[in-house]
């Protein structure tokens, strides 16, 4: 009888430490950060007087993508000063996502909750800091009680705003990125194991071998789809960060 042995879920998410507290997930994150720094450092060293080629051409294209596709759509020209921050955020998240479809590595670092949570708290601290910089402690008053809220409703509105801004926002950012990347990783593993199990079926089950093409086609499709998801999740996280920062700056303008 045909049987597919699926590894324990912990085996899909945990990796043996290279040394205490440092495993493949941490290695992917470190390498991703180094790639961002090295790539844009090399691009910045290119002669700006010459037509951009190679690394600089790719770097300029990525900058234009962030400025035109995210900043101008959410923050306007005043948000262009946030280009380095949002660009670094987008590229780092993408580089942490894409290893999920790379052979041998086959694990997106963002499929573990620690990195999405750290990034979400980083964004949370940023937009709270922006609000405090522009408004001082009065920012919290505006945050809890938007203009026009009746006095009788202020306790309820304040409670809702505290929960949504202080708790729900970083939580939703974390779960959105983490859950999407984890789900994709598990799907890829599932169809990969199914393909292998059918392709290398026992001699008595040789008739199952031709059927391995079906999960393999699905595996190829999901791999291509996960490349799109890697880009899309980096884009969604970054554009939401831009929206939150803009809202903090907008509260200053309203005063």
The two structure tokens encoding residue 229: 């998801």
Asked whether 95 and 233 are in contact (CB, 8 A), the reply is no
**Which of the four pLDDT bands, split at 50, 70 and 90, describes residue 255?**
very low
**Which of the four pLDDT bands, split at 50, 70 and 90, describes residue 148?**
low
Distance (Å, rounded) from C-alpha 80 to C-alpha 72? 8
* Residue 196 confidence (pLDDT): 81
The two structure tokens encoding residue 118: 């750290």
- The separation between the first and the last C-alpha atoms of the chain, rounded to the nearest angstrom, is 72
* Residue 197 confidence (pLDDT): 79
What is the average pLDDT score of the chain?
83
Read off the pLDDT of residues 212-239 as tens digits, 9 standing for 90 and up: 888 899 999 999 999 999 999 999 999 9
State the number of CA atoms in the 13 A half-sphere of 22 facing the CB. Answer: 6
Q: What is the pTM of this model?
A: 0.85
Read off the pLDDT of residues 52-72 as tens digits, 9 standing for 90 and up: 667 888 888 999 999 999 999
From the CB of residue 170, how many other CB atoms can be counted at a distance below 10 Å? 20
């Amino acid at each position: 009888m045909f049987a597919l042995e699926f590894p324990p879920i912990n085996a899909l998410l945990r990796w043996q430490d290279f040394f205490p507290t440092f495993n493949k997930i941490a290695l992917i994150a470190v390498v991703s950060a180094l790639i961002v720094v090295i790539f844009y450092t090399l691009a910045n060293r290119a002669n700006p007087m010459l037509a951009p080629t190679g690394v600089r051409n790719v770097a300029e294209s990525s900058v234009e993508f962030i400025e035109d596709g995210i900043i101008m759509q959410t923050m306007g020209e005043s948000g262009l000063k946030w280009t380095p921050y949002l660009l670094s955020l987008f590229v780092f998240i993408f580089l942490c996502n894409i290893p999920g479809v790379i052979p041998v590595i086959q694990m997106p670092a963002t499929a573990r909750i620690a990195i999405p949570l750290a990034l979400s708290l980083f964004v949370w601290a940023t937009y709270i800091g922006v609000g405090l910089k522009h408004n001082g402690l009065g920012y919290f008053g505006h945050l809890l009680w938007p203009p026009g809220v009746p006095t009788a409703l202020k306790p309820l509105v304040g409670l809702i705003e505290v929960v949504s801004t202080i708790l729900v926002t970083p939580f939703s950012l974390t779960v959105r990125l983490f859950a999407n990347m984890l789900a994709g990783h598990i799907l890829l593993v599932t169809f990969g194991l199914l393909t292998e199990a059918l392709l290398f079926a026992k001699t008595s089950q040789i008739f199952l071998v031709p059927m391995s093409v079906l999960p393999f086609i699905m595996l190829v499709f999901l791999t291509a789809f996960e490349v799109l998801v890697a880009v899309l999740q980096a884009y969604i996280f970054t554009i939401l960060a831009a929206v939150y920062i803009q809202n903090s700056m907008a509260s200053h303008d309203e005063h």
